[in-house]
Amino acid sequence: MIQTEKMSPARKPVAPAPTAGQSFLAKFEEFERGRVRQSPDWLYPIRKAGIAHFAELGFPTVQNEEWRYTNIAPIAKLPFHPILERPASLPALKEIETLFIPGLKCSRMVFVDGHYAPELSAIADGIKACGLSEAWKTEARLLERHLGRYVHCEENAFVALNTAFFTDGAFIHIPANSQIEDPVHLLFVSRSSEPGSSSHPRNLVIAERGSRCRIIEHYASLPALSESKGSRSNGSDAPTLTNAVTEIVVGEDASVEHCKWQAESLSAFHIATLQVQQEGKSRVIQHSISTGAKIARIDIHLVLGGEGIESILNGLYLGGGDQLVDHHTVVDHAAPRCASHEFYNGILDGKSKGVFNGKIFVRKDAQKTDAKQTSRNLLLSDEATIDTKPQLEIFADDVKCTHGATVGQLNEEEIFYLRSRGIGAENARRMLIHAFASDVINRITLAPIREELEKLMSERLDREGV
């Protein structure tokens, strides 16, 4: 829905930084001459539009209402080195295995610096999944119909940049009335150590009418990362950028659970947009867990385009050190009788900064909408900050919409309760923080991910006495 953003206030045009713009254009021309020729004809105008929008928008500044709390100057300053070619050598499977989620029975697609590595992947029989660069040869018609049709290049510079430069990503097609039994684990590994190198993965998931699937979109860094394994210091220190765009189309009666887990190295920048287009009576559960990266900005945009849809957005962000984690969600109720429930919890320690902006739009015809949103934030240190902005825009009258936001410390009374039952102060604190995170974690249906996240929480609490 293009109108969506038009209604929100104060979208000042951002003047592109002239030098940056030019270097991007030059890079695009070079890219155009080379590899782009290999991609199909229909893709060309889409890319061209992407770079044109990027040139027009430039990198957003804090003057832009959508970016007022997130200063991406460190990203704009980086040299621009998109990784356009498949890496010559791949990491060993053994290295990659450290990033797997223990006990998770799944099909796995591994991407190294944004490029699909079939050698490291294992896809169960009967699942239509492949790299995007292959899909645009074999599934041209399907791609042409969906790719780039849902995201908004004209509004988001990073989406525009991705659209101009993407070379690969995951393509998953679930035919009508079929289901993928085990989840699909998309593992995006960044490995590059060159400052400014960027990957632009582009994913497309098409869940046709009546189908069911579960997808994990997992971003991590090599070598030695990391958040998921507990050691903070020794990730690659190169400031790299992941700029991912994922489009998910959910047909009538289809059901999709999507879990995004961002655990990149603490020197990396992670920008991602997830666009979900839902049709009537479909169900989506979307989890966004963000634990890594120096700056993470995640845009999640749901369009509820048919009657009787149910959507759940579930998010947890942990910030420590000087991390900045920013979630912008939009739930666009475009049709009547839909329900959306959104739960976002953030735990911020050190000098970290959290940003949450949740918009709910209820269109004129979307009567009987039931939309709920909560944003809860726990500040654990004196220097952590949070900026939260829940937002409702309602144009229909017969609706039930609520939102709530809280910011605070641990509840003294709850600590007292636990202590009066013989639990030490430190333990009580940990229990309560853990419980705060578990609220969100428990909504994930896949037990191995839950366990992994619980473990991560315990590790972080141990390490920092968070």
Partner 1 sequence: MTTPAETIQQFVDRDYKYGFVTDIESDAVPPGLSEDVIRLISAKKKEPEFMLEWRLKAYRNWLTMTEPKWPNVHYPPIDYQKIIYYSAPKPKKGLNSLDEVDPELLKTFEKLGISLQEQKRLTGVAVDAIVDSVSVATTFQKDLEKLGILFCSFSDAVQKHSELVKKYLGTVVPYNDNYYAALNSAVFSDGSFCFIPKGVRCPMELSTYFRINAANTGQFERTLIIAEEGAYVSYLEGCTAPMRDENQLHAAVVELIALDDAEIKYSTVQNWYPGDREGKGGVFNFVTKRGKCAGRNSRISWTQVETGSAITWKYPSVILQGDHSVGEFYSVALTNNFQQADTGTKMIHIGKNTRSTIISKGISAGRGQNSYRGLVKILKAADGARNYSQCDSLLIGDRCGAHTFPYIEVKNTSAQVEHEASTSKIGEDQIFYCNQRGIATQDAVSMIVNGYCKEVFRHLPMEFAVEAQKLLGVSLEGSVG
Interacting residue with partner 1 among 41, 119, 397, 413 (CB under 8 A): 397
Site residue total, partner 1 (CB under 8 A): 39
> Which residues does 80 contact at the CB level (< 8 Å), separation at least 6?
20, 23, 24, 27, 196, 198
Interacting residue with partner 1 among 399, 433, 444, 466 (CB under 8 A): 399
Q: Which is nearer to partner 1, 31 or 69 (CB)?
A: 69
Instruction: Determine, following the binding rule CB under 8 A, whether residue 182 of this chain makes contact with partner 1.
Output: no
Binders of partner 1 among residues 185 to 244 (CB under 8 A) are none
Q: Which is nearer to partner 1, 275 or 375 (CB)?
A: 375
Interacting residue with partner 1 among 17, 312, 401, 423 (CB under 8 A): 401
306 to 345: interface string for partner 1, x by CB under 8 A: ----------------------------------------
39 to 78: interface string for partner 1, x by CB under 8 A: --------------------------x---x---------
For the bound state, the minimum distance from the C-beta of residue 407 to partner 1, rounded and expressed in Å, comes to 4
356 to 375: interface string for partner 1, x by CB under 8 A: --------x--x--------
Interacting residue with partner 1 among 377, 436, 437, 446 (CB under 8 A): 377
Binders of partner 1 among residues 272 to 311 (CB under 8 A) are none
Q: Which is nearer to partner 1, 44 or 416 (CB)?
A: 416
442 to 461: interface string for partner 1, x by CB under 8 A: --------------------
Interacting residue with partner 1 among 179, 381, 432, 454 (CB under 8 A): 381
For the bound state, the minimum distance from the C-beta of residue 65 to partner 1, rounded and expressed in Å, comes to 7
**Residue ranges binding partner 1 (CB under 8 A):** 7, 9-10, 12, 65, 69, 364, 367, 377, 379-382, 384-409
